[in-house]
């Protein structure tokens, strides 16, 4: 492993490096990833699509009920050495920015300044009618106050904490129909977390910012991603087309693994601090 890290350091040293990160960067903070080392999705069944969220009040009841149970643990997650390593690389002038697929805000909490969030951030919700935003913590308080009985009946029914602040609830004990969804305080419109759902497009300005970052990079470092999601894989392909050096830190082989010049296998929270020492 030392050899791969030496090679990675040699690849990145004296270059304008951009990092592209995924769920693997945050697993050591206690937030599960989607796929794991095998590349297989951990959760079977089909993920909630944007159209299903806006088109069905039952789907919104289910989404927000599970989110209300899962949120406190997600919100307690703190940056780990992988986030801190990337933030230090930036502050020492060895990284120009981070493009992340994560929605947990942990790069910014660790001190990263230039961060493009490809899929948004769960710390906010947005009204689909008047576009007003509200902090997710404030919404949590409103949901809990509105659903006191539901909460006390279901607080302990989470069987698994899932990737995006969602929680798997015991189907035997759970009746989503009795959960009351909370609406926008200003106009009564539908609230949606400020993240890109499956079946929803990434806003154009975000895509352009990410693409410009890749165009300005002299090397790309991918950390903790399966690159299974099209938007991140396209950024890897863009970097490969520019023929800049490509480095990987990951536990498992991502899509496009053959494109990387150096592949350092292992946990990001261990490898990033070691890489930093070598730069
Ligand atoms: P993914 O789950 O598809 O892949 C994660 C990759 O990281 C896997 O290869 C896994 O083996 C590897 N990994 C796990 N722990 C690691 C560690 N400690 N060190 C190094 N590698 C590790 O994740 P993805 O590619 O980011 O795609 C998932 C999508 O789901 C994204 O679009 C993202 O928006 C969303 N998501 C976000 C979060 C979050 O915000 N923390 C968590 C899960 C999923």
Ordered per-residue pLDDT tens for the chain, 279 residues: 689 999 999 999 999 999 999 999 999 999 999 887 777 776 666 788 999 999 999 999 999 999 998 899 899 999 999 999 999 999 999 999 999 999 999 999 999 999 999 999 999 999 999 999 999 999 999 999 999 998 888 877 766 666 677 777 776 677 888 999 999 999 999 999 999 999 999 999 999 999 999 999 999 999 999 999 999 999 999 999 999 999 999 999 999 999 999 999 999 999 999 999 999
Instruction: Name the residue with the closest Cα to ligand 1, atom 13.
Output: 24
CA–CA distance, 272 with 260 (Å, rounded to integer)? 17
Whole-angstrom Cα distance, residue 218 to residue 193? Answer: 34
Nearest residue (CA) to ligand 1, atom 9: 226
Tell whether ligand 1 has an atom less than 6 A from the beta carbon of residue 81.
Answer: no
Residues paired with 124 in a beta bridge: 135
Of the candidates 169, 175, 148, 143, the one whose C-alpha atom is nearest the C-alpha of residue 157 is: 169
- Using a 6 Å cutoff on CB, does residue 29 contact ligand 1? no
Q: Quick check: CB of 22 below 6 Å from ligand 1?
A: yes
Strands 191-195 and 246-250: unpaired
**What is the reported pLDDT for 40?**
73
Supply the residue whose CA is at minimum distance from atom 15 of ligand 1: 24
- Judge contact between 126 and 196, C-beta under 8 A: no
DSSP 8-state secondary structure symbol assigned to residue 199: T
Pocket test for ligand 1, best of 1, 25, 34 (most atoms within 8 A of CB): 34
CA atoms of 145 and 14, how far apart (whole Å): 54
In short, whether 226's Cβ falls inside 6 Å of ligand 1 is: yes
User: Whose C-alpha lies nearest to ligand 1, atom 26?
Assistant: 22
Residue 107 falls in the annotated catalytic set: no
Report which DSSP code applies to 130. T
Predicted pLDDT of residue 1: 62
Cα separation, 92 vs 111, whole angstroms = 12
* Any atom of ligand 1 within 6 Å of the Cβ of 101: yes
Instruction: Quickly list H helices, the chain.
Output: 2-12, 50-55, 57-76, 81-91, 106-110, 136-146, 148-154, 204-215, 230-241, 268-278
pLDDT for the residue 57: 96
DSSP 63-124: HHHHHHHHHHHHHH----HHHHHHHHHHHTTS--EEEE---S-HHHHHT--SEEETTEEEEE
Q: What is the pLDDT of residues 70-79, one digit of tens each?
A: 899 899 999 9
Q: For residue 25, how far is its CA from the centre of ligand 1 (angstroms)?
A: 7
CB of 100 closer than 6 angstroms to any ligand 1 atom = no
Q: Is 21 in the pocket of ligand 1 (CB under 6 A)?
A: no
How many angstroms separate the alpha carbon of residue 22 from the centre of ligand 1? 5
Smallest CA-to-CA distance from 65 within 144, 183, 172 is with 144
101 CA to centre of ligand 1 in angstroms: 8
pLDDT for residue 207: 97
What pLDDT digit, counting tens, does each position of 62-72 carry?
999 999 988 99
CB 27 within 8 A of CB 224: yes
Task: Please indicate whether residue 274, judged by its CB atom, sits closer than 6 Å to ligand 1.
Answer: no
Model pLDDT, residue 169: 73
Give the nearest ligand 1 atom to 42 CA. Answer: 2
For helices 230-241 and 204-215, the axis angle rounded to 10 degrees is 30
- In the set 83, 107, 119, 154, the catalytic residue is 119
**Is 133 within 8 Å of 176 (Cβ atoms)?**
no
Report yes or no on whether pTM surpasses 0.85. Answer: yes
């Amino acid at each position: 492993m030392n050899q791969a890290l030496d090679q990675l350091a040699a690849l990145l040293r004296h270059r304008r490096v951009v990092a592209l990160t995924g769920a693997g960067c945050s697993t050591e903070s206690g937030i599960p990833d989607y796929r794991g080392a095998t590349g297989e999705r951990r959760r079977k069944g089909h993920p909630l699509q944007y159209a299903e969220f806006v088109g069905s009040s039952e789907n919104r009841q289910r989404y927000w009920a599970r989110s209300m149970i899962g949120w406190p643990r997600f919100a307690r997650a703190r940056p780990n050495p992988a986030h801190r390593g990337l933030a230090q690389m930036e502050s020492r002038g060895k990284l120009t920015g981070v493009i992340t697929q994560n929605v947990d805000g942990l790069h910014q909490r660790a001190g990263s300044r230039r961060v493009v969030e490809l899929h948004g951030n769960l710390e906010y919700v947005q009204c689909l009618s008047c576009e007003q935003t509200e902090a997710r913590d404030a919404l949590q308080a409103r949901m809990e106050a509105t659903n006191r009985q539901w909460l006390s009946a279901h607080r302990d029914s989470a069987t698994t904490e899932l990737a995006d602040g969602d929680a798997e609830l015991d189907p035997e004990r759970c009746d989503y129909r009795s959960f009351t969804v909370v609406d926008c305080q200003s106009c009564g419109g539908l609230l949606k977390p400020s993240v890109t759902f499956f079946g929803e497009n990434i806003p154009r300005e975000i895509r352009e910012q990410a693409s410009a970052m890749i165009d300005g990079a002299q090397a790309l470092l991918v950390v903790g991603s399966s690159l299974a999601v099209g938007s991140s894989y396209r950024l890897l392909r863009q970097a490969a087309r520019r023929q800049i050096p490509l480095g990987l830190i990951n536990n498992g082989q991502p899509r496009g693994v053959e494109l990387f010049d150096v592949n350092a296998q292992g946990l990001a929270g261990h490898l990033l601090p070691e890489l930093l020492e070598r730069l």
